[in-house]
């Protein structure tokens, strides 16, 4: 993989250009994307009075759910690399605290120590996952819980590739999906790699289990394809394209996604995830 600092810089640039799509579709992402993180939420079992950090909080929907679960007396804090998405999250959920930070270089997460850490489809995006996960572990109290979801491989998530391949020919330059260990949707496809990363980061009681879900979306090809394009790798190119090209991209994506659609019922998108769980050992946490 390229130099870690260069990958971090590329990540920051990518999310700067991708944030507008996530912000535009924040409500839809909250409503339709819940299955992506449900298993981690259920495993974490946030309790009233606890403090939970949401890593890669995006536009804040997951953090708001965590904040509700730890009331009365608790707090959930959302952390994301994108300042624009953190600002959007703060506007959407003014009673919840959100912070812009690079988890990998933070040393310690703002507001630490926490009782638990949650992440939905974010830790696979770390340039240096061992460094990022070590920061998470250090930011937990002794015995603190970590629960996250990541995508498995492309074959287990065929709709993601279909949306990209259907849209890309109609747009300007679109970067390819990252390969191998490069930060991206399938960087944690290898179960053994996840185990190694969390072990090197110092976690205990690590489990990495397959978890399959189906994301249900309404029978609205134009809206569904635009959502999937804008929150995916083709998002920046889509937003900079003229409307005829955007319409062609939606049509192209809809054509490849049609196998997941039942007319009158909507889309049923199969998603193959890893559910990652771990704990911080005795003596853990900031001094």
How much is the mean pLDDT over the chain? Answer: 95
CATH number assigned to the domain comprising residue 97: 3.40.50.150
**What pLDDT is recorded for position 2?**
58
Distance CA 213, CA 258 (A): 19
Phi-psi region of 143 (alpha: psi -120 to 50; beta: other; left: phi over 0): left
Parallel, antiparallel, or unpaired for β 51-55 and 140-151? unpaired
Does the pLDDT of residue 282 top 90, yes or no? no
Residue 224 inside a domain? The answer is no
Residue 287 inside a domain? The answer is no
Residue 79 inside a domain? The answer is yes
Radius of gyration for the chain, computed over Cα atoms and rounded to the nearest angstrom: 18
| Nearest one of 222, 215, 183, 17 to 103, comparing CA atoms | 183
pLDDT tens, 165-216?
999 999 988 877 787 788 999 999 999 999 999 999 999 999 999 999 999 9
Residue 220 inside a domain? The answer is no
| DSSP annotation string for 59-128 | TSHHHHHHHHHTTTT-EEEEEES-HHHHHHHHHH-TTSEEEE--GGG-SS-TT--EEEEEEES-GGG-SS
Mean local confidence (pLDDT), 154-161: 96
pLDDT tens, 49-84?
999 999 999 999 999 999 999 999 999 999 999 999
Residue 229 inside a domain? The answer is no
Mean local confidence (pLDDT), 130-141: 97
Worst-scoring range by mean pLDDT, 10-14, 123-127, 137-141, 269-273? 10-14
**Domain total for the chain?**
1
Residue 68 inside a domain? The answer is yes
pLDDT tens, 246-261?
999 999 999 999 999 9
Domain interval for residue 27: 4-154+175-213+272-279
Residue 180 inside a domain? The answer is yes
Residue 238 inside a domain? The answer is no
């Amino acid at each position: 993989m390229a130099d870690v600092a260069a990958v971090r810089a590329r990540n920051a640039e990518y999310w700067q250009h991708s944030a507008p799509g996530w912000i535009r579709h924040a409500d839809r992402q909250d409503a339709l994307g819940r299955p992506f993180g449900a298993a981690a939420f259920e495993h974490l079992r946030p309790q009233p009075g606890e403090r939970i950090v949401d890593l890669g909080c995006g536009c804040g929907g997951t953090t708001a759910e965590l904040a509700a679960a730890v009331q009365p007396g608790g707090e959930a804090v959302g952390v994301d690399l994108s300042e624009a998405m953190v600002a959007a999250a703060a506007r959407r959920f003014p009673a919840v605290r959100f912070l812009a930070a690079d988890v990998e270089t933070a040393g310690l997460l703002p507001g630490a120590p926490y009782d638990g850490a949650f992440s939905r489809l974010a830790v696979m995006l770390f340039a240096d996952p061992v460094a990022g996960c070590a920061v998470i572990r250090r930011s937990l109290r002794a015995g603190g819980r970590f629960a996250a979801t990541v995508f498995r491989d492309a074959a287990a998530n065929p709709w993601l590739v279909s949306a990209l391949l259907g849209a890309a020919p109609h747009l300007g330059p679109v970067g390819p999906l990252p390969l191998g260990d490069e930060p991206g949707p399938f960087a944690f496809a290898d179960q053994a790699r996840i185990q190694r990363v969390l072990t090197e980061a110092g976690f205990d009681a690590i489990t990495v289990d397959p978890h399959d879900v189906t994301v249900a979306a309404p029978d609205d090809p134009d809206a569904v394809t635009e959502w999937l394009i804008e929150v995916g790798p083709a998002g920046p190119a889509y937003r900079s394209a003229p409307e005829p090209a955007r319409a062609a991209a939606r049509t192209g994506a809809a054509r490849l996604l049609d196998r997941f659609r039942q007319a009158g019922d909507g889309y049923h998108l199969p998603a193959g995830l890893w559910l990652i769980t771990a704990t911080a050992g005795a003596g853990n946490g900031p001094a």
